[in-house]
Amino acid sequence: MGSQEGITAKDTVEAALKEIEMNMKGIVSGQSDTYEAGLAIWGRAFSLAGDSKDLMWPMWLIWGALTDWVEVKPNEATTARESMLRAAREWLSLEQSPSERKDYFDRWLFDELGHERPGT
């Protein structure tokens, strides 16, 4: 068996979340380029989106939309970067309960970014 022996999917998701939160901290502190850190968040979440429907899937959708906003509407890049800063700051301020995470994801996906709510 390889070096992955004993590593569970939960361990992998938790490690990815730590990486994502480090990128968010870089955004909030101003030590990282907002867009580049956003791309890193998007990529890490994307890599586990299929295995983590409650955490990485919505994280991937949010950061994909935020980074796409910069790419597709460069005249709105400043506003998009401000939204990335706000999304990172808000995530880092959560108590990280399942209900707080769900509320965060629902608000960002449906209210902030305009994704269609399921069943509507």
Determine what percent of the chain is predicted with pLDDT higher than 90.
81
pTM for this one? 0.89
Q: Which residues of the chain have pLDDT under 70?
A: 1-9, 120
Q: Where are the domains of the chain?
A: 10-112
Q: Which residues, including other chains, have CB under 8 Å from residue 63's CB and lie 6 or more apart?
A: 38, 41, 42, 45, 84, 87
- Integer angstrom CA distances of residue 104 from 81, 100, 111, 117: 18, 6, 10, 14
CA distance 76 to 113: 14
Q: Which pLDDT tens digit goes with each residue over 56-71?
A: 999 999 999 999 999 9
